[in-house]
Amino acid sequence: MPFPDQVSYVKSNKLGDAVLGSISVVIPHLDESLLPPPTCFAEIRAQLIEQLKCLDQQCELRVQLLQDLQDFFRKKAEIEMDYSRNLEKLAERFLAKTRSTKDQQFKKDQNVLSPVNCWNLLLNQVKRESRDHTTLSDIYLNNIIPRFVQVSEDSGRLFKKSKEVGQQLQEDLMKVLNELYTVMKTYHMYNADSISAQSKLKEAEKQEEKQIGKSVKQEEKQTPRSPDSASSVKFEEKHVRRSSVKKIEKMKEKRQAKYTENKLKAIKARNEYLLALEATNASVFKYYIHDLSDLIDQCCDLGYHASLGRALRTFLSAELNLEQSKHEGLDAIENAVENLDANSDKQRLMEMCNSVFCPPMKFEFQPHMGDMVFQLCAQQPVQSELVQRCQQLQSRLSTLKIENEEVKKTMEATLQTIQDIVTIEDFDVSDCFQYSNSMESVKSTVSETFMSKPSIAKRRANQQETEQFYFTKLKEYLEGRNLITKLQAKHDLLQKTLGESQRTDCSLASRRSSTIRKQDSSQAIPLVVESCIRFISRHGLQHEGIFRVSGSQVEVNDIKNAFERGKSSCVCLCVCFCASGFKRR
């Protein structure tokens, strides 16, 4: 019980005394300790004790909450550190494998392939997440937990001080109540005195009346008798009566004065009581409506919510930064997945193994023993035979081309079917994260998503069947293309030669063409240009330059100027390109 004895209240009631003193009411001696306080005072005092108990309890809960938060973040820091270490181990396991590979250059080359790029970014992401969870753990331990420790300290200190203030306010309130009690008792006492004085005065007035009534009667009784014989008796009687009346009058006056005095005292005491009542009610209202509220504010407002909020905001900031970092990594992976490209990988592979995929030199005519004829001879007697053969080839080719075009169409349609199967957008797993309110059916939901669908097995069987058909058609198409290529080459040469032989005779043509062989349309492309074209058609589409990705304007202008100065534009462009292409690798 935080309250001192009630008596000490009244004795130390200096403010009350000062007020009472200023209106000069003389309080009669009262032994307050002998007067029991009213029941409502005890009830109020019990309520005041409960109020402090309630605040005590809140403080305890607060301390407990802060302790829980510390324990929670300490344990979570461990979990995050554990997770981080496991991720680090996972990344290292595969990165070490990459590093241990002997052929570093080869690995370097492989890295430019788009699936390998995805894989590397996946490992990077794990490393990044590992690092971020270490940071998170560290922030928990070295920032958030110390904040909770501080909040706990501050909260305890503030509560202690607030409780002191509360106790002071309650003491003051009890003083006011006791003051009211005292003043009420005083009023009751003075009023009792006033009533008693009044009744005594009334008694005196009654006696006086009685005395006056008696002497009038006696005078009336004595009047019919002889006035002389009775006069001495009368005189004596009159004298006795007069002194008695005087005595009564004196008493009455005395009692009147006493009553007036007590009446004034009672009025003053009542006034004092009424004033104290007003002050008490105001104080009680103030305490319950303002003081209690302010008291709780002291426990709450002085930083508890704000500091707790800051600690939690630190947690949120850490989590959001982790999220952002993770998201950046996922963006990079997403970008790499977007760039998964079979065609550019093919180009890169061919660049990597350039010697393996580079076409051999063109086969040249090997003349026998100084044979000077390098061209088809279309003179008679072979001319008609060649003409016939050219016609046969032409009709054969047109049939073959139509047939092979059909095969190609079928093949391409089949390929499209396969590509439709393999590019089906079945990768959204949002459903798995839409939990029902109960958390029991998680497993089954996920399992359904990909593997358990009966359509998957059917789809895969279908895919393989389509694939098989595709390869059949592919082989058919490639065989047809092989034959067409050979026959077309022969046909074209025959047609060209026969066309020429109509203008010139065979020997002349053969002699002339042997000298201008390099400028002939069938042989028109110089070897260096042919090589450049090969290079460009293979690698050119992947490189920056004037071919696809626009290069620097300066370089383009240099090439233009070189062309305008009269150099062969084609060779120049090709050589420029080759040089930049090789530099690039």
**Residue 147 CB coordination number (10 Å):** 21
Whole-number minimum distance, CB 203 to a second copy, in Å?
A: 18
286 in contact with a second copy (CB under 8 A) = yes
Q: Which of 9, 148, 159, 304 binds a second copy (CB under 8 A)?
A: 304
Torsion, CA 344, CA 346, CA 349, CA 351, rounded to 10: -70
**SS in 3 state form for 227-288?**
HHHHHHHHHHHHHHHHHHHHHHHHHHHHHHHHHHHHHHHHHHHHHHHHHHHHHHHHHHHHHH
Stretch that binds a second copy, among 198-206, 207-215, 220-228, 324-332 (CB under 8 A): 324-332
Q: Which of 257, 429, 508, 579 binds a second copy (CB under 8 A)?
A: 429
Q: Which of 192, 461, 528, 541 binds a second copy (CB under 8 A)?
A: 192
457 in contact with a second copy (CB under 8 A) = no
Of 292 and 578, nearer to a second copy (C-beta) is 292
435 in contact with a second copy (CB under 8 A) = yes
| Contact criterion met (CB below 8 Å) for 59 and 160 | no
Whole-number minimum distance, CB 101 to a second copy, in Å?
A: 10
Site for a second copy in 117-176 (CB under 8 A): 118-119, 122-123, 126, 131-132, 134-135, 138-139, 142-143, 146-147, 150, 154, 157-158, 161, 165, 168-169, 172, 176
Of 259 and 470, nearer to a second copy (C-beta) is 470
570 in contact with a second copy (CB under 8 A) = no
Whole-number minimum distance, CB 294 to a second copy, in Å?
A: 8
- Which residues, 6+ apart, have CB-to-CB distance to 212 below 8 Å? 245
51 in contact with a second copy (CB under 8 A) = yes
Per the rule left: phi > 0, alpha: psi between -120 and 50, beta: everything else, 545 is left
12 in contact with a second copy (CB under 8 A) = no
- Give the separation between CA 575 and CA 571, rounded to whole angstroms: 6
Whole-number minimum distance, CB 21 to a second copy, in Å?
A: 11
- Give the separation between CA 116 and CA 104, rounded to whole angstroms: 15
Of 312 and 572, nearer to a second copy (C-beta) is 312
Whole-number minimum distance, CB 135 to a second copy, in Å?
A: 5
Of 293 and 552, nearer to a second copy (C-beta) is 293
14 in contact with a second copy (CB under 8 A) = no
Whole-number minimum distance, CB 574 to a second copy, in Å?
A: 16
Site for a second copy in 247-266 (CB under 8 A): 264
Site for a second copy in 464-503 (CB under 8 A): 464, 467, 470-471, 474-475, 478-479, 481-483, 485-490, 492-494
User: What Cα–Cα distance (Å) separates residue 6 from each residue in 36, 186, 354?
Assistant: 10, 18, 106
Q: How is residue 501 written in tokens?
A: 């032989």
- Give the separation between CA 112 and CA 135, rounded to whole angstroms: 32
Whole-number minimum distance, CB 571 to a second copy, in Å?
A: 20
| Contact criterion met (CB below 8 Å) for 272 and 183 | yes
Output the DSSP codes for 33-94: GGSPPPHHHHHHHHHHHHHHHHHHHHHHHHHHHHHHHHHHHHHHHHHHHHHHHHHHHHHHHH
17 in contact with a second copy (CB under 8 A) = no
Q: Which of 56, 210, 261, 365 binds a second copy (CB under 8 A)?
A: 365
402 in contact with a second copy (CB under 8 A) = no
28 in contact with a second copy (CB under 8 A) = no
Residue 475's Cα: distance from chain center in Å? Answer: 57
75 in contact with a second copy (CB under 8 A) = yes
Instruction: Kindly write out the interface string for residues 501-540 of this chain, putting x where it contacts a second copy by CB under 8 A and - elsewhere.
Output: ---------------------x-----------x--xx--
Site for a second copy in 208-237 (CB under 8 A): none
Q: Which of 178, 191, 211, 262 binds a second copy (CB under 8 A)?
A: 191
104 in contact with a second copy (CB under 8 A) = no
Of 332 and 562, nearer to a second copy (C-beta) is 332
145-222 vs 39-100: helix crossing angle, rounded to 10: 170
Q: Which of 26, 289, 508, 541 binds a second copy (CB under 8 A)?
A: 289
34 in contact with a second copy (CB under 8 A) = no
47 in contact with a second copy (CB under 8 A) = yes
382 in contact with a second copy (CB under 8 A) = yes
Q: Which of 60, 82, 253, 558 binds a second copy (CB under 8 A)?
A: 82
Please name which of 427, 414, 513 lies closest in space to residue 463, comparing C-alpha atoms.
414
- Which residues, 6+ apart, have CB-to-CB distance to 359 below 8 Å? 534
- Which residues, 6+ apart, have CB-to-CB distance to 522 below 8 Å? 493, 496
CB burial of residue 180 (10 Å; 0-12, 13-18, 19+): buried
* Residue with the two structure tokens 């002071």: 168
- Which residue type, as a one-letter code, is found at position 344? S
Q: Which of 7, 274, 524, 527 binds a second copy (CB under 8 A)?
A: 274
- Classify residue 549 by its DSSP letter: B
Termini Cα distance of the chain: 89
- Give the separation between CA 470 and CA 234, rounded to whole angstroms: 165
288 in contact with a second copy (CB under 8 A) = yes
